[in-house]
Amino acid sequence: MIERFTAEQSAQREWAWLLALYLFLGSLGGCLFLLVRLFGLPPSFAVASIGLVVLGGIVVLIKLGSPQRAWRAMSRPTTSWISRGVLCVAGFIVFGCLSVAPSIAALAWLPWNDGTALGIAFAWVAALFALLTTIYPGFVVSSARAISFWNTPLLPLLFFGYAGLAATGAVLIGSSSVPGGVARVVPWTEALIVVNAALSAIYLLVMKRTGGSARESVHRLNQGSLGAVYWIGVVLVGLILPLAALLWLTTAAVLAGACIQIGALLFRYCVLRAGVYYAPATLTPVGMDFSTLTRTSADFAHEYAGMAGNSAPGRR
Amino acid sequence: MAESTTPVTNSKVKWGVAVDLKRCTGCQGCTIACKLENGTPPGVFWTRVIEKEEGTFPLAYKVFMPIRCNHCSDAPCIPVCPSGASYRRANDNLVLIDQDKCIGCGTCVVACPYDVRFMPLSAHGYYGQTKVAFEQTAYEKWQKGTVQKCTLCVHRIDKGLEPACVETCPTKALVFGDLNDSDSQIAKLIRERPHFQPSAELGTDPCLYYLT
């Protein structure tokens, strides 16, 4: 509480684990659905992707202060990224279920499937909503102009990159259920690891050079417990270990996929926790202008001359 | 009550506060007055005085800066609200929260550059689960799991009174008034004294002026 009574820069406290988990599950589910279409994966992956998005919805309900009014979150799609996201998630769940339903044996009687015009239409609409579900979390975070570490176009790009990486990681985890194996997915995963590592480095470098609260965010991401989570959890476990496993230990695809999930979740957590507000108040770049006070700068200098002399190095 | 999500353009009244940094002694009188007037829960300070150290030895000094919701003309907390709970009162520029609509997502808390929005998740009082008589009455106004912030004592303004923090300030460091009225005391002070708005570079146009 005391930090709210000082002018020190402070990190936001509102968004932490639960929101990180929600952002992770939502974008993972959306992107996994896209990969099902892209790589022709079994329908079980599509069902899992919808399940992940629904799970994300449950997580965010737990996080809400007043979950009984959650339906109101759709009220302002013209200005609020949360509203847009809720509509996208709702659309994805509805059309995703309609698209996947005929592949479930008990629902095979439905009058559409992947071969009919209606089935194809459902699949395309679901894919569109899946894409929007994947990309909107980055915009939710980057739209906060109070936190310059987030308020950059690089962040949605990075979130999208990590969503893609997590989705390929999920395919690796479920590789045993993919006929013909996941050989096609492995190069994509390796490429995404490299791309995300490069994007992260660029992002942190840009934020460090931006200065102010963004620089403070980068500083916090490199020290203390958050620094340990970032460098061990995100970089080592989430990027280096899976890349090494995929390159030199091809039988460890499931382990690599699991590591990627840990890294992708921790990445979102670290970005959220490192979000430092603008300094609550700034006077002037060089401090208060003494000339506006009754006592001028010269008066102060004269008044404290003796004290300054006593403290000067080398004086006795 | 008419509501708006757009920035202030031509409202007749534009309430604002000027803070004379030369007068503020950091007594936290406004902090306590706000607590008493609005009965906010533990850990929630709609207005508070932050301390800032300036300069270097031997010319070091401390500046006290009262902060609260600035009722910004282009408030970043309003457009991000997904439920429409955060809104601007149309007949003046006051940024208010409809607790019956707030879902408690915390987006506005994160969006506010001044860190002056709060979401108390506990219904406890200052003395644990058992609330004292004052808390029992005061807390009835606040819904658990919704965001709250300074209303600039809208209930007092509507009665023609000044906000509690302004009224209680012993050094008269706080000046409240209509920024659109060129004859008001606050408008004159802003015209005559060197001043700045907090984090003005963010483009929020806060209705708060620090007089230096």
Q: Domain check: are A61 and A180 in the same one?
A: no
Residue A316 lies in a domain: no
Angle between helices A81-100 and A17-39 in degrees, nearest 10: 40
Residue A272 lies in a domain: yes
Location of structure tokens 């006290």: B64
Above 50 in pLDDT, residue A309? no
Instruction: Record the pTM.
Output: 0.85
Cα maximum dimension of chain A: 97
Q: Domain check: are A91 and A156 in the same one?
A: no
Q: Which of A132-146, A171-185, B119-133 has the highest mean pLDDT?
A: A132-146
Q: Domain check: are A138 and A169 in the same one?
A: no
Residue A102 lies in a domain: yes
Q: Are the C-beta atoms of B77 and B117 separated by less than 8 Å?
A: yes
Of A122, A143, A164, the one marking the end of a domain is A143
Peptide bond connecting B58 to the previous residue in cis, omega within 30 degrees of 0: yes
Q: Domain check: are A132 and A226 in the same one?
A: no
Long-range contacts of A223-226 (CB under 8 A, 24+ apart): A226/A270, A226/A273, A226/A274
Class of CATH domain B14-73+115-138+149-211: alpha beta
Residue A245 lies in a domain: yes
Q: Domain check: are A120 and A214 in the same one?
A: no
For residue A263, the enclosing domain spans 152-278
Report percent pLDDT > 70 for chain A: 85
Kindly determine whether residue A143 and residue B196, on different chains, have CB atoms separated by under 8 Å.
Answer: no
Among candidates B48, B55, B121 on the partner chain, residue whose Cβ is nearest the Cβ of A65:
B121
Residue A291 lies in a domain: no
Q: Are the C-beta atoms of B65 and B19 separated by less than 8 Å?
A: yes
The residue length of chain A stands at 316
Residues of A in contact with B43 (CB under 8 A): 1
- Three-state SS at B63: strand
Above 60 in pLDDT, residue B211? yes
Q: What is the pLDDT of residues B67-90, one digit of tens each?
A: 999 999 999 999 999 999 999 998
Give just the sign of the alpha carbon dihedral B111, B113, B117, B118. Answer: positive
Higher pLDDT, B99 or B129: B99
Residue A302 lies in a domain: no
How many domains in chain A?
A: 2
Kindly determine whether residue A65 and residue B105, on different chains, have CB atoms separated by under 8 Å.
Answer: yes
Q: Domain check: are A185 and A125 in the same one?
A: no
Residues of A in contact with B105 (CB under 8 A): 63-65, 73, 82
Q: Could you tell me what percentage of chain A is helix, strand and coil, using 3-state DSSP and rounding each to the nearest 5? A: 75, 0, 25
The residue length of chain B stands at 212
- Three-state SS at B17: strand
Mean pLDDT in residue range A260-283 = 87
Convert B161-196 to b/e letters by CB count within 10 Å (16 or more is b). Answer: ebbbbbebbeeebbbbbbbbeeebebbebbeeeebb
Residue A285 lies in a domain: no
